[in-house]
Amino acid sequence: MRIQESAENYLEAILMLGQNGEPVRSVDIANELEYTKPSVSVAMKNLRASGHILVDGDGHITLTGSGLEIARSMYERHTLISDWLIFLGVDRETAVSDACKMEHGMSEQSFKAVRKHIEEWKRDVYKHKTDKED
């Protein structure tokens, strides 16, 4: 299922913020993404209505199965592309910014091809490195 880029950003932010084990709140998302609290509030209402998040009585936000699936997909795209760009010599800030743009606009077919290429390339680099050590 395809959702809007902004929703993907929110879900990915919730995933990343929740990795430390602390509850995620709207204010945390607003601070992380540098969005206004009212904008985040509207987005959380829409994500809750679409079944991608749950919000408990204390305002703690958790991802549902569908939200987690989308968030993990975006996070994988983001980390793979940004790491690759950094390895190619792009500075970290630019690589992270560019990866964010690329992760949303790329089709699943293109991303799978890029991922396959990077994985094969990494294997070749590792194999070449270990061959030189022998």
95 vs 14: CA distance, rounded Å: 21
**What is the domain partition of the chain in residue ranges?**
1-134
Does the pLDDT of residue 1 top 50, yes or no? no
Residue pair 71/9 in contact by the 8 Å Cβ criterion: no
Residue identified by tokens 């699936």 is 69
Hey, what CATH class is 1-134 in?
Answer: mainly alpha
**Is pLDDT at 66 greater than 80 in this prediction?**
yes
- Mean pLDDT score of the chain: 90
Q: Tell me the C-alpha distance between 47 and 39, whole Å.
A: 12
- Provide the pLDDT confidence category of residue 121 given band limits of 50, 70 and 90: confident
CB neighbours (10 Å) of residue 77?
A: 22
Which of 59, 33, 66 shows the shortest CA–CA distance to 45?
59
